[in-house]
Chains A and B, each alone.
Chain A
Amino acid sequence: MNVLIPSQLRDYTGGRAHVKARGATLAALLADLERRYPGVRFRMIDEQDAIRRHIKIFVNQQLARDLSAALAANDEVVIVGALSGG
């Protein structure tokens, strides 16, 4: 499926904003992203599998609260870096 990578993480994807990844759940998709782009997962997901406070992940425009969200092959995943202030 298509995954939109925010600018904060594009050092890991060689500068690419749009990448492909596979997985039946958000957890599996992130594991696939980690295989393709080592190190990227831990910047988004902490060691207790929580999505970090200033990262938001949308599946078909719906905010995912945790990694158990089910995914289908044609879903669109958008990862957003969300932080205000200086």
Chain B
Amino acid sequence: MPKVKAGKGTPRPASGPVTLLVGTRKGAFFIRSDRARRSWTLAGPHFLGQIVNHLVLDPRDGKTLLCAVRTGHLGPTVFRSTDFGRAWKEAQRPPAFPKAAPGEKGLAVEHVFWLTPGHASQPGAWYAGVSPPGLFRSEDGGVTWEGVAGFNANPMRSAWIGGEENQGPPGGATLHSVNVDPRDARHLYLGISIGGTFESKDAGATWRPLNQGVAADFLPVKDPEYGHDVHCMRLHPLAPDRLYQQNHCGMYRLDRPGEKWDRIGNAMPKKIGDIGFPIVLHPRDPDTLWVFPMDGGTVWPRVSLGGKPAAYVSRDGGRTWRRQDKGLPTKQGWFTVKRQSMCVDSRDPVGVYFGTTSGEVWMSANEGDRWNSIARHLPEIYSVEAAGG
């Protein structure tokens, strides 16, 4: 396998403090580091009692935050801050499907699940993935949102997602992993659980499935064109022809213009397997990535295998993997790390972070070689994103 080189413009490592943006089932929290990333301070909560699926910084201005919020009682919305969380304003028009014609059944957004800043050349552009699976776009920094009709009204949409009655994962089937090609704002990828990976080359006007080589063991059809269960999919910003995917049925890599995903999870230890939720990429090395395997056997416990949590790192694009568990519990550690709950910073060495459904945040300041607990007793963690650095 040829080693992929990062393209021109490889950013210099950051050197400042890091802020983790933590979304939980009961609100949002900030965890701020010192410059050395040794000391961490927890702040918050914001939106106490509200479900925060994703809290994301706009890298184009370094201060605008968007937060996907709902509560048990109330409908979904998006809050935005233009001063890094000091003040929040609700979107004037949150993501919402069109009103159905009389006598027809329309879709209603259950929750906003995923937020992705748009292309660097399009300040104010954002994408939101929602449940039931739908894609929305904002042109004004998240104040107003419009559905991407090329996906939401696509005649194939219902077939792609297995029908509207498909409830998918807890909380409902959902659209996530929106990736924008840094070379071309019109070139988009997205993932659906369930539905699969889809690509658009015309800013979302048309989409096509991109799932060759990906297993879908839960479907009766062998090698289906769509219907796969993408857990998390990421494009490397410095090598945008390289995609990685953590799927319900394994770990994969795709090198475009190739069409067929390669199951890099086959190189994982057999007793660990290649099931998990998150997958995160080194910001400057397209061949380095981390995963956090979980138990996908029998009734799908979705916790660390054997109660021994560990990340795995590959430094060669998934050809080989190494266990990283120093500092983590050696027994009775039943972690679940959700798909948005693992991230990296842009320091050197890279900081790697994850949050658990049991409300713990762990970090490694040396690319996973040793882990430290930096927060405990938080609510169930849904997302962790690193800002600054």
Contact = CB atoms under 8 A, between A and B. Distances in A.
Do A and B originate from a single complex?
A: yes
Interface string B76-93: 010000000000001010
A49 B99 contact: yes
B73 A46 contact: no
Nearest to B108: A46
Contacts of B92: 38-39
B109 A54 contact: no
B106 A48 contact: yes
Contact of B96 (A42, A52, A83): A42
A39 B109 CA distance: 15
A48 to B, nearest CB: 4
B100 A42 contact: no
B106 A82 contact: no
Interface string A29-47: 0000000001100111111
B7 interface: no
B24 to A, nearest CB: 13
A54 B73 contact: yes
Given A38-B92, A48-B99, A48-B100, A43 B75 contact: yes
A3 interface: no
B98 interface: yes
Given A38-B92, A39-B90, A47 B98 contact: yes
Contact of A9 (B74, B98, B106): B74
Contacts of A52: 73-75
B74 A43 contact: yes
A81 B98 CA distance: 25
A60 B310 CA distance: 58
A52 B73 CA distance: 8
Contacts of B71: 8
Classify the interface of chain A: helix, strand, loop or mixed.
loop
A9 B90 CA distance: 13
A44 B108 contact: no
Interface in A28-86: 38-39, 42-50, 52, 54-55, 81-83, 85
B94 interface: yes
Classify the interface of chain B: helix, strand, loop or mixed.
loop
B108 A8 contact: no
B99 A83 contact: no
A46 B74 contact: no
B73 A83 contact: yes
Nearest to A12: B90
Contact of B72 (A9, A50, A83): A83
Contact of B75 (A46, A83, A85): A46
A42 B93 CA distance: 9
A82 B98 CA distance: 27
B40 interface: no
B224 to A, nearest CB: 31
A11 B151 CA distance: 34
A42 B77 contact: yes
A42 B75 contact: yes
A82 to B, nearest CB: 7
B97 interface: yes
B94 A42 contact: yes
Contacts of B74: 8-9, 43-44, 52, 54-55, 81
B94 A50 contact: no
B73 A8 contact: yes
Given A8-B71, A54-B73, A85-B72, 9 more contacts: A42-B77, A42-B96, A43-B75, A46-B109, A47-B106, A48-B100, A49-B99, A55-B73, A82-B73
12 contacts: A8-B71, A44-B75, A45-B75, A47-B99, A47-B108, A47-B109, A48-B97, A48-B99, A48-B105, A48-B107, A81-B73, A81-B74
Interface of A: 6, 8-9, 38-39, 42-50, 52, 54-55, 81-83, 85
- Please list the 7 inter-chain residue pairs (A to B) with the smallest Cβ-Cβ separation, ordered nearest first: A46-B108, A81-B73, A43-B74, A47-B96, A48-B106, A83-B72, A54-B73
